[in-house]
Each structure stands twice: as C-alpha cells, then as structure tokens.
Amino acid sequence: MKKEDARRVQKIDTKVDKMRMRRKDTDSLKVKENVFDEATLKALYTLCNRGFLNAIGGSISTGKEANVFLGEGKDADIAIKIYRISSSTFNSMEEYILGDPRFRNIRHAKKDIIFAWTKKEYRNLTRAKEAGVRVPEAIHTERNILIMEFLGEDERPYPLLKDIALDKETAKPIYDTVIKYIELLYVRANLVHGDLSEYNIIVNPRTMEPIFIDMGQSVTLEHPKAREFLMRDIENIMRFFKRYDIEGQAEELYSTMKEIKQKNQ
C-alpha cells in the first residue's frame, strides 16, 4: 500500500471506530474505504446522531453502483444502501476532467444526479408499498444513503429468487404474486419496476413470500420507455418461471392490465 493510501485508511479507520462501526475483516474495510468518502462518512455520522443508525455491520452486497450493508437501527436491523459517488470508471475520467475549466461543475453534477437517484428509490419504494406491493420499507434518505427495512433473519439476508430451491408446486404461488405486484405497480402506483428479474426479488424462505427490491431505476408511466421496460420486466419473469412449466403470455397480460387501468380511471 502506498504511504498516502495507508494514511487515508488509518484516518477512515479512526472515524469508523468513532462511529462505532464494527470492522469485521480487512476485506470489508477495503469496501468501506472505497464507499465511504469523507462526505458519506459525515452523512453516516449525522444519521447516527439523529438516531437512525446505531452501528454498521457487515457488507451484504457490492453491486455495480451501490453497496448494501447490514446496520443496527433504532429498534430493528436495517439495510443501508450506499450509492458510490466515485465509481471506478469515473475515477479514471476524473484525472482528465478535473482542471479543465469546461468541466468545472461536473463533480457537482454527478453528485446531484446520484442524490436525486437515491431519493427516487426512496419514493418509488414508498409508492410501491402504498399500492400494496411487498417491498422493503423505506425509512430515510440522506445524500447517497438509503436506509430501509432489513429483509432477513439473524443478521442474514433472505435469498434472492434466483438462489432459492423451488419446484412446480412452490413456484406457482410465487409467480402469481409477482404478476399481481407488477399489476398493482402499474394500475395503482403508475410505476414500472424497470429492472425486474430473479436478481431483484427476495424470497422469505419461511413464508415463500416474494419481495421486490432495487427500485432506483423504476419509472412512471409517462416515461417514453415505460412500455418497453414493462414488457421486458414481464418477459424476464415469464422466462424464469418457464423452467417450472409455468406458461404466461406477456402481450395478453399487458392488455389485461391496460384494460383494468382504463376501467379504474
């Protein structure tokens, strides 16, 4: 490790300790160093002071744009999704862009977009819940941080739909509920998930209840690509369940949903 990097890690280390974040291993520190820039640390600190967060636990996931951590909330476990402000692709661009007066505001602009995105996910989750769709309850947002209900037990997150063992009998009720949720989102919330697949549905292994997650990219029906995204969502789901001999007609489902929506208006 370079000397200045070592110093940075140590500095963050001290801060992490101050915030009573538990450091489980060096791997998760690396993750944290990458995610927790100064401003994000400050925001986490604020969240601590305001009682939303008592401690940060282990890493649940490192995605393309965000990291998800387990956390200790006021009176229950929480999931903390942190969108990374400096993605690696952006870092290498940064070198060229910073210092060029034409791009003076680009850092700012990128931050603003990420903050808006985080708020959008919060709002989409709230809206979905109001429409009767099971999603993690959105608790709070601050800058690039989204705090939500933790879906899991004993500090272990529930599995994704793609990872749970199913057969024809157990798959059918899950499929039916997923289709119902797509419909509720469309008819009641005016929303299309936009990235729906077996990767963004969690299943409670006890009740076999599906739960939609990851709604940052969800769009309202006014979006020019809303129909395209909706068809893609439906087709992803039908493709996944085909292996359990569940056959669905995407176009048919779409027409039914449209009819219901028109009747409701």
Ligand X SMILES: Nc1ncnc2c1ncn2[C@@H]1O[C@H](COP(=O)(O)OP(=O)(O)OP(=O)(O)O)[C@@H](O)[C@H]1O
Instruction: Give 140's strand partners.
Output: 147
Inter-CA distances, 178 with 115, 133, 237, Å: 29, 9, 8
142 part of the interface to ligand X, by CB under 6 A = no
- DSSP, collapsed to helix, strand or coil, labels residue 191 as strand
147 part of the interface to ligand X, by CB under 6 A = no
112 in active site: no
233 part of the interface to Mg ion, by CB under 5 A = no
Task: Find the binder of ligand X among 43, 53, 56, 66 (CB under 6 A).
Answer: 66
Q: For residues 147 and 115, what is the distance between their CA atoms, to the nearest angstrom?
A: 13
Task: Find the binder of ligand X among 60, 178, 253, 257 (CB under 6 A).
Answer: 60
Site string for Mg ion, 171-210 (x = CB under 5 A): -----------------------------x----------
214 part of the interface to Mg ion, by CB under 5 A = yes
Pair 240, 179: CB distance under 8 Å: no
Q: Which is nearer to Mg ion, 198 or 214 (CB)?
A: 214
Q: Which is nearer to ligand X, 43 or 144 (CB)?
A: 144
Quick one: what does residue 13 bind among ligand X, Mg ion, none, with the CB cut-off 5 to 8 Å set by partner type?
Answer: none
Query: Which tokens is 257 given?
Result: 């949903």
Angle between helices 168-189 and 106-130 (to 10 degrees): 110
Task: Find the binder of ligand X among 16, 56, 128, 148 (CB under 6 A).
Answer: 148
Site string for ligand X, 149-168 (x = CB under 6 A): xxxx----x--x--------
Among the listed residues 13, 37, 77, 195, the single catalytic one is 195
Q: For residues 171 and 161, what is the distance between their CA atoms, to the nearest angstrom?
A: 10
Closest approach of ligand X to the CB of residue 44, in Å: 17
Q: Which is nearer to ligand X, 136 or 194 (CB)?
A: 136
Q: For residues 129 and 161, what is the distance between their CA atoms, to the nearest angstrom?
A: 20
Pair 31, 16: CB distance under 8 Å: no
142 part of the interface to Mg ion, by CB under 5 A = no
Q: For residues 260 and 251, what is the distance between their CA atoms, to the nearest angstrom?
A: 14
The CA-based dihedral angle spanning residues 259, 257, 127, 141, taken in that order and rounded to the nearest 10 degrees:
-140
- Give the residues lining the site for ligand X (CB under 6 A): 60-61, 63-66, 68, 79, 81, 136, 148-152, 157, 160, 200, 213-214
Supply the residues annotated as catalytic.
195, 214
